[in-house]
Amino acid sequence: MKRRRSGSLAGNPLLIGAVTTLIVVVAVFLAYNANNGLPFVPTYNIKVELPEASGLIPSNQVRIAGTRVGLVSSLTPRQNRATGRVSAIATLKLEKGIEPLPADTKAIVLSVSAIGLKYLELEKGSSHQPLKAGQTLPTAQTREPVNIDELFNMFDKPTRTAIKINTNNFGDGLAGRGLGLNNTIAELRPLVNNAVPVLHNLALPQTDLRGFFIALDRVASQAAPVANAQASFFSDQDTFFKAWASVAPSLEKATEGGPAALEQAIHSLPFEAPFIEKATEFMHLLRPSARSLRTVAPPLAHAFAVGAVNLKAATELNTQLAASSQALAAFAQNPVASLGLEDLTRTLQVGNPLFAGIAPEQAVCNYLTLAFRNVASLESENVGVGTVARSGFVLSPPGPNNEGYPSSAPANGPSTEHGFQSTTIIDNNHVHVNPYPNVAGPGQPQVCEAGNETYLEGKAVIGNVPSIDVANKRELTTRGQDLSGEPYPSATLTALGIAKGKKK
C-alpha cells in the first residue's frame, strides 16, 4: 500500500510542474532583489547625511576596511530650514554582525574604479557610545573627496584653451629673465630660513591651522549658492571700472585741485554765511511772487519758448564772437594799442570842449544826420550819365550898398527894378547875416536857429533872430524815411532790407 502511494507522488506530473514553477519564481525574486538584500534577513539600518552624495546611487556597496558589509538602499534629499542648504540622506542596510557601530564612525564616498562606480566606506571610531539603528551620521562625520573624473571634468575645452594661452603668456613673461630668476631664488634662501620658525608656529596644535582651512571650506560652501550673484557683481565691477578709467585723468586733475579748493572754501565759507542768511530772507520775501507766478506761468512759458529760438541765434552769435574776442585779446596785448589808447585819451581830453559843443547839435537839432541826408540828396540827381551836384548863381538885388559891389555900410535900403517903360521899387536890398546862430550849444538857448531863421522883409538883420521864431523849428529823421523826409512805402522797405525798424 505504501509503495503504491510513493510511486504515485513521484509520477504525478502536475505536482512536479507546480514545484518547479515555485522554485523558478523564488529564484527570479531572489535574483531581482539581490542588490537590495535578501528578504527575511535581519539587517542593521542606519542613515548617513552627505553634502552632495557625489554620484552615489541606491544599491551601491557599503564597505568597512575594504570588506562589503551592506548596501545603500535609498537616497532622499533634505533641506535644512535654518541654512537653506540641501543635503542627501543615504539609508544603509548593514549586516547584523557589525552592530553596533561607534557613534563617532565616519563615512567617505570613494570610487571603485576610474569609470565612476562609487561605494561608501565606513571608518569605525573609538567612541564607547553606540550608534543605534535608525540614527543618522551628521555631515561633520562625512567626507566627499574630489574624484579623478571630477578633476578631469574641470578641464573642459574653454579651460584648456585658457590654460594654453596662459602658458604661452607666462613663457613670454619669463623669456630672457633667467638671470633675474636665479637672483630671486638666491634671495629666497634667507626668506626660507626665517620662515622655519613661522612654519613651526603654524604647525602647533594651538594655532589650529586645520580649523582655518575648515572655516575656509565652510565659507566657500556658504558662498556657493550666491556664486552667480558674485560673478555678476565682478562683471558689473568690470563695467564700472572701465567707465571709471575713462574719466580717471579728469578725476586726477580734480583731485590735484582739491587741497587748494578746500583752503579757499575754509576762507570763503565764513563770508558766505551772511549771504546765505540774506538769501534765506530773500526766499521768504519771494513767496508772494512765487504764488503770483502761477497766473503768469503760461505767458512766461511762451516767453521761454520764443527765447529758445533767440537763444539759438545768440549761440551762433557767441560762436562768431569768439573769434572777435580772440582778436580783441591779441589787440589788447599789442604794446602799440596801449600807446594808441593813451594818444586817444589825450585827444579826447583836448577835443572834449569841441565834442561838448557838437553833441547837443546832433542830440537836439539833428544837424549831422540832416547834413548827410542832404549831401546824399544833392548827389542823387540823375542826368543820364551819372549824378552831379546841383548849383546855380543868385545875383544880388540892385540898390545902395548891395552885396554885389564894395559898400560903405550894410545894405539897408530899397532897391529898384527897371522895366521897359517903368521903374518898380522892390524892398529886398537888406542884408541878413547870422555868423553865430544858436544851435543848442553850451550856454546857448535850446533852439535850432541855423537853417531855420525867418526872413524879415524890409529889415536888415545882423546876428541872432528872436528865439520865438525858431523855438519849435527842427527836423527829425528816422530810419523809415526817404531823402525827402517822407516815410518809405512797404515795398521800398522790403527792397532796402528793412522790416519793423530792423535790418536783416
Euclidean distance between CA atoms 453 and 465, whole angstroms: 7
Give the three cell numbers for residue 149: 573624473
Helix (H) or strand (E) holding 227: helix 227-246
pLDDT value, residue 71: 85
pLDDT reading at 226 higher than 80: yes
Euclidean distance between CA atoms 86 and 80, whole angstroms: 6
- For the entire predicted model, the pTM comes to 0.31
**DSSP letter for each residue of 318-343:** HHHHHHHHHHHHHHHH-HHHHHHHHH
Mean pLDDT for the stretch of residues 130-137: 85
pLDDT value, residue 7: 52
pLDDT value, residue 495: 35
- pLDDT digit string, tens, across residues 378-435: 676 666 655 556 566 677 777 777 777 778 888 887 776 665 566 666 777 788 888 8
Euclidean distance between CA atoms 107 and 69, whole angstroms: 13
pLDDT band at 501 (very low <50, low <70, confident <90, very high): very low
pLDDT reading at 305 higher than 70: yes
Euclidean distance between CA atoms 236 and 230, whole angstroms: 10
Neighbours of 211 (CB within 10 A): 9
Neighbours of 376 (CB within 10 A): 10
Indicate the SS3 state at residue 92: strand
Q: What angle do CA 489, 490, 495 make, to 5 degrees?
A: 100
pLDDT reading at 361 higher than 60: yes
Give the three cell numbers for residue 382: 540823375
pLDDT value, residue 388: 58
Mean pLDDT for the stretch of residues 361-369: 82
**8 A C-beta contact, residue 472 and residue 449:** no
pLDDT value, residue 490: 41
Strand partners, 452: none
- pLDDT digit string, tens, across residues 6-36: 555 556 676 677 777 777 777 666 565 555 5
Average the pLDDT over each of 52-61, 156-165, 215-224, 276-285 and give the range with the smallest value.
Answer: 52-61
**8 A C-beta contact, residue 100 and residue 70:** no
Instruction: Name the DSSP class of 454.
Output: P
Neighbours of 19 (CB within 10 A): 10
Average pLDDT in the chain:
78
**DSSP letter for each residue of 379-431:** TT-B-SSSB-------PPPSSTT-TTS--SS--BS-EEEE-SS-EEEE---B-
